[in-house]
Amino acid sequence: MRKYFGPSTLVAAAFIGPGTLTTCTMAGVQTGYTLLWAMLFSIFATLILQEMSARLGFVTRKGLGEAIDSQFSVGVSRVLVFFLVIGAILIGNAAYEAGNIAGGVLGLHLIMGEWKILPLGLGGISFLLLFFGKYKLVERVLIGLVILMSVCFLLTAIIVRPDFGAIFRGFIPSGIDENFLLIMGLIGTTVVPYNLFLHAATISKKWDENASIRDIRIENAVAITLGGLISMLIIITAAASSGNVEAVTSAKDLATQLEPLFGATAKWAMGLGLLAAGLSSTLTAPMAAAYAAQGLFAWEKNEKDMKFRAVWMLILGIGIVVAMMPDLKPVRIIKFAQITNALLLPFIAVYLLYISNSKKLLGKYTNTLLVNILAAVVIGITILLSLKVLYGLFG
């Protein structure tokens, strides 16, 4: 079993964060089972894009940043790629980090009440774990807690007896016009652009040159599918419990869906789960940004290098500052982070698709025609949804 739990599991754990809990709960409460099709599409998109990223990292033994640097070394394309990756690092990762910290703080609100200093405390713990390199052990514990909470959602879904007819109808695309921001949120919380950098950079640590592409693809499929099923369970339990809450505006609203299983202690269970999900994701986002910069600027492959540390410190610092802003509610920060990542996704995905067809980099392991078609469909749909969001905001 250990063979099929590695870098892809880290990717799944990264997207099963507070953003997933919050956005999937909002989808279930506000639309019932209507947007299950959007989550299914998100899982499919993640499988396609993360497989390309994993294959790139395995074959080249490079991260996505390094691959981009080698393909676009001079000219206008170099400048465009530079600003693209910087945008993904500073905007996407910083927004996601703010959402991660805000989500962890939501969990602390349920456990110990609302204190203004909580984002700083959570950020400080993350800083120490990242700086001293002890985050891997803690991350395993936190991922275990997230998985335990996922089992709780499965048990809750069984207890609340959801409408299976409505669940099956939810996989038929509908409700796009009135729910496109939620749809973008679901995509943004699952198909996370920084995970593409993280996956390619870490896969060589798990798999050596003697491994097979088939094993890597199986590992990717197992982890991503498991993460997607957990997200669907959250939507289903939220939809079945939607009669108990009108809107998701606080941590207490998130905890309502676990009441059938935990009763009065539901807030403690959700609080612990949100804290675990938030802290584990708070560690991965800054590291992914640092890996991206390390590859793009050809820095020394040393996680203790000051430039490497400066990048993750910057992302962590921005996340703490945004999460501490008094006028910004944690739920709104999380929703903004998901939409921002969904808007950035098409640009990163286009470059990944281009690189995955490079004979120079991948040789015989370039994309097949089927993978190119599937990736083009995914990118096309995300571009259309992004344009719709931008038109809604500025049109």
| Domain residue ranges of the chain, discontinuous segments joined by + | 2-394
Per-residue pLDDT, 391: 73
Residues 385 and 219: their CA atoms lie apart, in Å, by 29
- The DSSP secondary-structure symbol of 33 reads T
Question: Which residues, at least 6 apart from 244, have a Cβ–Cβ distance to it below 8 Å?
Answer: 256, 259
pLDDT at 313: 93
**Rounded CA gap, 141 and 33, in Å?**
32
Question: Exposed, middle or buried: residue 79 (CB in 10 Å: 0-12, 13-18, 19+)?
Answer: exposed
CA neighbor of 11 nearest in space, from 132, 191, 170: 191
User: What pLDDT is stored for residue 214 in this prediction?
Assistant: 86
Cβ contacts of residue 41 below 8 Å, gap of 6+? 187, 381
Which fold is adopted by the domain 2-394? Answer: Amino acid/polyamine transporter I (1.20.1740)
What pTM did the predictor assign?
0.83
Compute the distance between CA of residue 213 and CA of residue 10 in angstroms, rounded to an integer. Answer: 18
Q: Give me the amino acid identity at 51.
A: E
Is-contact 202 7, C-beta < 8 A? yes
Instruction: Note the pLDDT of residue 374.
Output: 94
- Go through 226-264 and write b for each residue having 16 or more CB atoms within 10 A of its CB, e for each that does not: bbbebbbbbbbbbbbbbeebeebebbbbbbbbbbbbbee
Q: Is residue 187 a contact partner of residue 38, using CB atoms and an 8 Å limit?
A: yes
pLDDT at 395: 58
List the pLDDT tens digit at each of the 395 positions of the chain: 556 666 677 777 777 777 788 888 888 888 989 999 999 999 999 999 999 999 998 888 888 878 877 777 777 777 777 777 777 667 777 877 888 888 888 888 888 877 778 888 888 988 988 888 765 666 666 667 667 777 777 888 888 788 889 999 999 998 888 888 888 888 888 888 878 887 887 787 777 777 788 888 888 888 888 888 888 988 998 888 766 666 666 666 777 777 777 787 888 888 887 887 788 778 888 888 888 888 777 788 788 889 999 999 999 998 898 888 777 676 677 777 777 777 778 888 888 899 899 998 888 899 999 999 999 999 998 888 888 777 766 65
Measured CA to CA, the distance from residue 71 to residue 80 in angstroms comes to 12
pLDDT score for 42 = 92
Distance between CA 25 and CA 39 in Å, rounded? 12
Residue 185 has a pLDDT of 83
The closest of 326, 344, 342 to 102, measured between CA atoms, is 326
